């Protein structure tokens, strides 16, 4: 089954979030310390991913252009409005947590090589081991994030399943049409661009600064377009 690894990944995120929900009633001082610990780990993760870039100019352009597009489209405001609407429907008393938890968890779970490589392995070879490993990691991460950011983390299973599922379903075509060199470059620059956003999330969680991370999200698409343009230029124009 092509989607088995992806479905297991989504289930682990749901289970981890539900367990984290039950563990969320911890003392405020402990929750604050846990939040600071998570923020430090998230910042280190973001830096580690950011250093994977082979051409940091691509990352800079992606972040800048993505920020302009995100502010123009007002993604952060729209996502917060959606989160508040969901909170009203669920009768949640933790205002603002759903949108923050959703964005934070989605970026951490979707950005990175494991999501792409694991989904390709599932689709091409029927090998789900990478996604099984990612599922366990994501499940524990969802548990920890939910204790501090709230139940919004559970909604991140939707983009994870859609993103990895589409890659798995079209893996054979992707493998045939996309050269290995382009795929490697694509993974590195997408990972690096996403890593900067994850670092920004860490800063937000620490309370150092408030960055509208959702407005940076178009940078992922911009990075993909820049990488594709560079590859086409080098292969067919020069």
Q: Residues 41-72: pLDDT tens digits?
A: 989 999 999 999 999 999 999 999 999 999 99
Q: pTM value?
A: 0.86
Contact residues for 33 (Cβ-Cβ < 8 A; gap 6+): none
Name the pLDDT band for 95 (thresholds 50, 70, 90): very low
Q: How confident is the model at residue 137 (pLDDT cuts 50, 70, 90)?
A: very high
22 within 8 A of 135, measured Cβ to Cβ: no
Best mean pLDDT range from 29-33, 82-86, 117-121, 176-180: 117-121
Query: So what's the pLDDT on residue 51?
Result: 94
Residues above pLDDT 70, as percent of the chain: 96
Please give the tally of structural domains in the chain: 1
CB 130 within 8 A of CB 118: yes
Within 13 Å and on the Cβ side, how many CA atoms surround 105? 35
Domain that holds residue 216: 4-237
SS (H, E, C) 76-120: HHHHHHHHHHHHHHHCCCCCCHHHHHHHHHHHHHHCCHHHHHHHH
Which residues, 6 or more positions from 146, have their beta carbon under 8 angstroms from its beta carbon? Answer: 16, 17, 19, 20, 21, 23, 24, 101, 153, 154
The Cα 225–Cα 153 span in angstroms is 29
The model's pLDDT over 195-225, given as tens digits with 9 standing for 90+, comes to 999 999 899 888 888 899 989 999 999 999 9
């Amino acid at each position: 089954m092509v989607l088995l690894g992806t479905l297991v990944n989504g289930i682990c995120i749901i289970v981890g979030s539900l367990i984290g929900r039950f563990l969320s009633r911890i003392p405020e001082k402990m929750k604050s310390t846990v939040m600071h610990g998570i923020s430090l780990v998230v910042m280190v993760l973001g830096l580690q991913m950011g250093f994977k870039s082979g051409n940091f100019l691509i990352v800079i352009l992606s972040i800048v252009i993505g920020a302009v597009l995100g502010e123009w489209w007002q993604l952060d405001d729209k996502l917060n409005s959606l989160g508040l609407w969901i909170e009203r429907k669920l009768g949640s008393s933790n205002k603002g947590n759903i949108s923050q938890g959703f964005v934070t968890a989605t970026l951490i779970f979707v950005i990175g090589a494991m999501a792409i490589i694991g989904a390709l392995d599932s689709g091409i070879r029927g090998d789900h081991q990478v996604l099984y490993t990612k599922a366990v990691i994501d499940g524990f991460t969802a548990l920890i994030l939910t204790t501090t950011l709230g139940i919004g983390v559970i909604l991140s299973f939707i983009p994870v399943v859609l993103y990895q599922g589409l890659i798995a379903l079209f893996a054979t075509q992707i493998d045939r049409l996309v050269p290995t060199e382009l795929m490697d470059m694509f993974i590195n620059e997408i990972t690096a661009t996403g890593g900067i956003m994850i670092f920004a999330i860490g800063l937000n969680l620490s309370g150092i600064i408030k960055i509208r991370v959702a407005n940076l999200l178009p940078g992922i698409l911009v990075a993909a377009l820049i990488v594709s343009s560079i590859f086409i230029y080098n292969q067919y124009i020069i």
